[in-house]
C-alpha cells in the first residue's frame, strides 16, 4: 500500500461477514471529563460521529459504561437509523461507580443487564460485536473467563448479539475463550512503546482475527516522544498520524480506533491512512521499544 488510504483497505475477521475499514472511531472521548457525564459541547460531539461516517469510517467502538450511557445515546441520536455496513462494537464486564470508579461487573445478571442496556441505548435489536472486558484494572490479570463467556454465548443463542470479542486479555485467556467459542477480535493496550502483545498479534493475524489496539500514544517517555516527533516532522505529519500509520503497517489484522471530540482531529486521524512510513521511519520507531526496555533495566 502506498499513497492510497489505508482506510479503504478492509479487514474481514474470521467467522464473520463483516468488512471493516482499518481506521475506525473510538467513542469514549465523546463523554465528559474522565469519561463521565455529558459532553461540554453536545452538537460538536454529534458532528464528530456524523463526520466519521462521511469520511468512510464503518467501525465504531463504544460501551454503555462510557458516561455511563452517554456515548451510546450520542451514537443513537447522531446516526440512527444506522446505515448498512456500519458495525458498532461494544464492551461489557465493567460498570461505573457513583464516585466515577471503574468496577468489574461480570456476574450473569450484570452481563445480561449490560447487553440489554447497550441494545436499548443504541436502539438496536441485536449487537454486532460484544467484547468481554476481562476484570484486570491495570492490564490482563489472567482471570478465568469461562463463566462470563457462557453468559454471552447464551445471549448470542437468543439472538441478542452476533459475535463475541475480548478485551484486556492475555494469550492464555484468548486460548481459553477460543476453546469455547469463535472469537472475532481482541482489544488490548498496544502502541509503539508498549509492545507486550507482539506475539499475540502475529498469532491472531495467522488466524484471521482482528486486533484492536487502544492508547496509541499512551505511556511514552520524553525520549520516546522526541523520537516520534522527529519522525513526524520529517514526514510532515502529526505524531498521532505517525503512531497510527505504524500500527496499520505493523500487521494486516490491525484495526485502529482513535478517539477524539474534535472534527479537525478526526480528519487528521483518518488522513493517517494515507501516510506511508519508509524503512528509516520504521527503524527509528521500532527502536522506541528498545529505549523502553533499556530504561526499565536501569
Predicted confidence band at 50 (pLDDT cuts at 50, 70, 90)?
very high
Alpha-carbon 23 to chain mean position: 10
Give the percent of the chain with pLDDT over 90.
Answer: 90
Which residue ranges make up each domain of the chain? 6-219+236-276
Task: Write out pLDDT tens, residues 220-259.
Answer: 899 999 999 999 999 999 999 999 999 999 999 999 999 9
Give the C-alpha separation, 66 to 91, whole Å. Answer: 10
Task: Write out pLDDT tens, residues 166-215.
Answer: 999 999 999 999 999 999 999 999 999 999 999 999 999 999 999 999 99
- Residue 295's pLDDT is 47
Predicted confidence band at 297 (pLDDT cuts at 50, 70, 90)?
very low
Q: Would the pLDDT of 96 be above 70?
A: yes
Give the C-alpha separation, 153 to 142, whole Å. Answer: 20
Which residue from 188, 187, 166, 185 is spatially nearest to 176, judged by alpha carbons? 166
Q: Do residues 279 and 46 lie in contact, with contact meaning Cβ atoms separated by under 8 Å?
A: no
Predicted confidence band at 292 (pLDDT cuts at 50, 70, 90)?
low
- Residue 146's pLDDT is 98
Predicted confidence band at 298 (pLDDT cuts at 50, 70, 90)?
very low
Q: Would the pLDDT of 85 be above 90?
A: yes
Give the C-alpha separation, 275 to 154, whole Å. Answer: 43
Q: Would the pLDDT of 5 be above 80?
A: no
Q: For the beta carbon of residue 196, count every other beta carbon within 10 angstroms.
A: 12
- Residue 7's pLDDT is 60
- Residue 138's pLDDT is 87
- Residue 1's pLDDT is 34
- Residue 8's pLDDT is 57
Instruction: Tell the CATH superfamily of the 6-219+236-276 domain.
Output: NADP-dependent oxidoreductase domain (3.20.20.100)
- Residue 205's pLDDT is 98
- Residue 3's pLDDT is 35
Mean pLDDT of the chain: 94
List residues with catalytic annotation. 66
Amino acid at each position: 500500500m502506498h499513497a492510497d488510504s489505508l482506510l479503504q483497505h478492509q479487514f474481514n475477521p474470521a467467522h464473520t461477514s463483516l468488512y471493516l475499514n482499518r481506521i475506525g472511531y473510538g467513542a469514549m472521548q465523546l463523554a465528559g471529563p474522565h469519561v463521565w457525564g455529558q459532553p461540554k459541547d453536545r452538537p460538536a460531539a454529534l458532528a464528530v460521529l456524523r463526520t466519521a461516517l462521511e469520511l468512510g469510517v464503518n467501525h465504531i467502538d463504544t460501551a454503555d459504561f462510557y458516561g455511563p450511557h452517554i456515548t451510546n445515546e450520542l451514537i443513537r441520536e447522531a446516526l440512527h437509523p444506522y446505515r448498512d455496513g456500519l458495525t458498532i462494537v461494544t464492551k461489557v464486564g465493567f460498570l461505573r461507580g457513583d464516585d466515577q470508579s471503574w468496577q468489574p461487573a461480570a456476574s450473569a445478571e450484570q452481563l445480561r443487564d449490560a447487553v440489554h442496556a447497550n441494545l436499548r441505548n443504541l436502539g438496536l435489536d441485536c449487537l454486532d460485536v460484544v467484547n468481554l472486558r476481562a476484570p484486570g484494572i491495570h492490564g490482563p490479570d489472567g482471570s478465568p473467563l469461562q463463566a462470563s463467556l457462557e453468559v454471552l454465548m447464551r445471549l448470542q443463542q437468543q439472538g441478542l448479539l452476533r459475535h463475541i470479542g475480548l478485551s484486556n486479555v492475555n494469550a492464555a485467556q484468548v486460548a481459553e475463550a477460543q476453546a469455547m467459542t469463535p472469537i472475532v477480535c481482541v482489544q488490548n493496550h498496544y502502541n509503539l512503546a508498549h509492545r507486550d502483545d507482539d506475539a499475540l498479534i502475529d498469532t491472531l493475524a495467522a488466524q484471521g482475527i482482528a486486533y484492536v489496539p487502544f492508547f496509541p500514544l499512551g505511556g511514552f517517555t520524553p525520549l520516546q516522544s522526541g523520537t516520534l516527533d522527529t519522525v513526524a516532522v520529517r514526514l510532515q505529519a502529526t505524531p498521532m498520524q505517525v503512531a497510527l500509520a505504524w500500527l496499520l503497517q505493523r500487521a494486516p489484522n490491525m484495526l485502529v480506533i482513535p478517539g477524539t471530540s474534535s472534527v479537525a482531529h478526526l480528519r487528521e486521524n483518518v488522513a493517517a491512512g494515507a501516510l506511508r512510513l519508509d524503512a528509516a521511519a520504521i527503524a527509528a520507531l521500532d527502536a522506541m521499544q528498545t529505549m523502553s526496555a533499556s530504561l526499565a533495566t536501569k
